[in-house]
Amino acid sequence: MRRRRVDRVATISMHTSPLEQPGTGDAGGMNVYIVESAKRLAQLGVEVEIFTRATARDLPPVAELAPGVLVRHLTAGPYEELDRGDMPGQLCAFLSGVLRTEAMYDPGRYDVIHSHYWLSGQVGWLAKERWGVPLVHTMHTMAKVKNQLLAHGDKPEPQARVVGEEQVVEIADRLVANTTDEARELIDLYGAAEERVAVVNPGVNLTVFQPASQTIARRRLRLPRDARVLLFVGRIQPLKAPDVLLRAASRMLIDDPSLRGRLVVACVGGPSGNGLARPSILTELAAELGISDVVRLVPPAPQAELADWYRAADVTVVPSHSESFGLVALESQACGTPVAAAAVGGLRTAVRDGVSGVLVDGHDSDAWASVLRRFVTSPRWRDSLSTGARAHAAGFGWQATSAHLLEVYADAVAHLRPVPVAISS
């Protein structure tokens, strides 16, 4: 079957804007994914229009993110930060804005819809029905997976989300999974048809994230030249488990008090999700553990500064309870810094165990302390992993990701599925 060319994509990211700084609120790896893939698609000659919710009154209705990439801000609910749990109540308002935008143009403006996260998938479902174009959906995270791997004290995802995800899985023409593990979860947990699931690994910006002098990076960040730096990058919430790093660091200092004068535990990011209920939780935990003097809390950083943090670190620690991929791990490795990551989800793909970093089973602080201790006491081993990290990350570029996405779009257009009369819940 001859594939129709894809010229324009409607990307839907309702709950978080690609213009927001990753690392706080709801902005994270998904934001990076949308921005980077959209830019590369535009370079391939595909126009991308990203629909997102307006979070401030003074935002322009349309903003150019890059040549060929537009961001459309739609009014749906209050402008101030809206809790993700309240987002379903704004689905109708947001959908109305999406449909009104398309109605301003001649029919056939968009060739395909790509929705990100289940809320956007609900919008994409109805837009697909109205426009008669295929829906491609990327979950990024899944309620059933998160509920199987809950952090201590974290709340399970509500049943309404589970049902919403099941509906999107059933209606989507193609489901994009970040890894083969995620593809299997879609098939086994959600009953997705195997022929509609495509594995597309996310990428990394190999121009921004690349090796450079650790000494210079530490000087810019005002870190001691001889420090032993353990780095966490991400949103401060139970799911990401930054507390595991602090507890492991405490154990390291108990076992070897001589480390205290050189150890730096840097956490770059801001509170998000359930972490918003206790925004000072890491400060409190550091005080409770008696390690406030070695912990450095840093607000979310733009990519250029973030690259310096990776270069300055001896190891980047990713102890998440669940990750659909783990872009932080890939960014760190691209800078030549190996990773200690939880052996969960996409991290098993993002990190090559024993070559570019170490995968750790479970979240026991003693086990993590043992692994991290080796990073700061075995420089030759660490240097070997650093070499492996650079080589591993080099295989993940956004150009390849976007080229693969374009193939998925074309395939979805060629095999457009009709909307079922009724969707089971």
Query: Which residue ranges make up the annotated binding site for Mg(2+)?
Result: 310-311, 313, 337
| 173: CB partners within 8 A, 6+ apart | 128, 134, 135, 136, 196, 412, 415, 416, 417
| 218: CB partners within 8 A, 6+ apart | 224, 225, 227, 229, 312
Q: DSSP letter for 6, please.
A: P
Binding residues for 1D-myo-inositol 3-phosphate: 15, 26-31, 84, 117, 141, 161
Residue type, 151: A
Rounded (5°) CA angle 326-331-337:
110
Pairing of strands 62-66, 69-74: antiparallel
Binding residues: 15, 21-22, 26-31, 84, 117, 141, 161, 235, 240, 310-311, 313, 323, 331, 337
DSSP code per residue over 270-309: -B-GGGGG-TTHHHHHHHHHT-TTTEEEE----HHHHHHH
Cα 92 to Cα 89: distance, rounded to the nearest angstrom: 7
Binding residues for UDP-N-acetyl-alpha-D-glucosamine: 21-22, 29, 235, 240, 323, 331
| Helical H segments across 83-233, by residue range | 91-103, 118-131, 143-148, 159-171, 180-190, 214-220
Q: DSSP letter for 179, please.
A: S
DSSP code per residue over 26-85: T-SHHHHHHHHHHHHHHHTT-EEEEEEE--STTS-SEEEEETTEEEEEE--S-SS---GG
